[in-house]
């Protein structure tokens, strides 16, 4: 397949591009800069210059492709306004991509987060979260899945709290960055809340499998670690950086504070059984040992 990938030079997208190219597909990658264009070309992809807000360019990319994988997101959590802007931008992008694919039976793979279910790990059968600071992402992905009734093989790969590679990425990466800034490796509350995680290279395999195999209207969990306690994550970060490890106020994390305080384990049993996905790369606590002081 010729696959249009948004976010193709980021942590997850670059892994997905390599996975696609290594399995016989060709890639058209959305890029925002000359440097990203060079990176895409070096990886073996064809760059398409544009940003997530350039809806005509998104439509043109989808029109040239046999399938679409969307992983781009602004990832600006500096304020509630920035989060709202990022969610609105992505929602418009997903709508534009979806409309271009209507009636084509082409695959459209997007990403979202694993949901929060009180008292147990979430499963692929649980609905996406549609409230909270990033609830708009859940509503936008639900609209993508609804395109299954309009001739689009739309699927969602739900990513866990941390998608990591070489000790960087995801919410664990946010904890690391804040620890460097504040001099404390912190965690909210008692730190017993659990976050799921997956290595970026394993997530990339699932994105490819969803593109190739997943039925329309389905959701999948890219989860290897079902849930590491946040205080255990903070302990590794603190040890690697030589910093004290302690509880800090949820307000430390700005708009992400309520999310960081939640216990949110997730299961991928159905995904593994149905798509034959089997993670092979290091789990989060092992990978965090790659953090450089």
For residue range 47-63, what is the model confidence (pLDDT) as tens digits? 999 999 999 999 999 99
Express each pLDDT in 14-51 by its tens digit. Answer: 999 999 999 999 999 999 999 999 999 999 999 999 99
Task: Tell me the DSSP string of the chain.
Answer: -EEEEETTTSHHHHHHHHHHHTTT-EEEEEESSHHHHHHHHHHTPEEEE--TT-HHHHHHHHHT-SEEEE-------SSHHHHHHHHHHHHHHHHHHHHHHTTS--EEEEEEEPPP-TTS-B-TTSPPP-SSTTHHHHHHHHHHHHGGGGT-EEEEEEE-SEEEBTTBSHHHHHHHHHHHHHS-EEEETTS--EEEEEEHHHHHHHHHHHHHHPPTTEEEE--SEEEEEHHHHHHHHHHHHT--EEEE-GGGGGGGHHHHTS---B--HHHHHHH-----SPPHHHHGGG---
Report pLDDT digits (tens) over 237-258.
999 999 999 999 998 998 888 8
Report whether pLDDT(72) > 90: yes
pLDDT band, very low/low/confident/very high, at 218 (cuts 50, 70, 90): very high
Q: What is the pLDDT of residues 163-183, one digit of tens each?
A: 999 999 999 999 999 999 999
The pLDDT, as a whole number, for residue 66 is 98
Cα(53)–Cα(90) distance, integer angstroms: 8
* Residue pair 67/211 in contact by the 8 Å Cβ criterion: yes
Does position 132 have pLDDT exceeding 90, yes or no? Answer: no
| Global pTM exceeds 0.85 | yes
Please give the structure tokens belonging to residue 184: 């404390």
Mean pLDDT along residues 219-224: 98
Average pLDDT, the chain: 96
Residue 136's pLDDT is 87
Question: Mind listing the pLDDT tens digit for each residue in 74-119?
Answer: 888 788 898 899 999 999 999 999 999 999 999 999 999 999 999 9
Strand 218-221 versus strand 245-248 pairing type? unpaired
185: number of Cβ within 10 Å: 26
What pLDDT sits at residue 105?
98
Question: Which of 134-143, 267-276, 277-286 has the weakest average pLDDT?
Answer: 134-143
């Amino acid at each position: 397949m010729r696959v249009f990938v948004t976010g193709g030079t980021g942590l997850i997208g670059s892994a997905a591009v390599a996975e696609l190219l290594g399995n016989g597909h060709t890639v058209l990658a959305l890029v925002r800069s000359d440097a990203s264009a060079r990176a895409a070309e070096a990886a073996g992809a064809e760059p398409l210059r544009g940003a997530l807000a350039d809806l005509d360019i998104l439509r043109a990319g989808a029109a040239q492709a046999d399938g679409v994988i969307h992983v781009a997101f602004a990832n600006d959590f500096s304020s509630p306004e920035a989060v709202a802007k990022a969610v609105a931008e992505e929602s418009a992008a997903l709508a534009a991509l979806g409309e271009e694919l209507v009636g084509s039976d082409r695959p459209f793979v997007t990403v979202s987060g694993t949901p929060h279910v009180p008292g147990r790990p979430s499963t692929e059968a649980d609905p996406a979260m549609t409230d909270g600071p990033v609830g708009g992402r859940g509503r936008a992905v639900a609209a993508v899945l609804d395109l299954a009734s309009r001739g689009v093989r739309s699927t969602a790969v739900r990513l866990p709290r941390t998608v990591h590679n070489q000790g960087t990425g995801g919410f664990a990466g946010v904890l690391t960055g804040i620890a460097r800034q504040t001099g404390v490796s912190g965690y909210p509350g008692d730190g017993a809340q659990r976050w799921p995680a997956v290595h970026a290279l394993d997530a990339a395999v699932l994105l490819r499998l969803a593109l190739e195999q997943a039925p329309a209207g389905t959701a999948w969990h890219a989860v290897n670690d079902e849930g590491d306690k946040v205080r255990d994550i903070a302990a590794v970060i603190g040890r690697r950086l030589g910093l004290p490890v302690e509880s800090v106020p949820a307000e430390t994390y700005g708009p992400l504070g309520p999310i960081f305080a939640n216990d949110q384990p997730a299961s991928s049993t159905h995904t593994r059984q149905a798509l034959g996905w089997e993670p092979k790369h290091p789990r989060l606590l092992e990978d965090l040992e790659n953090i450089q002081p």
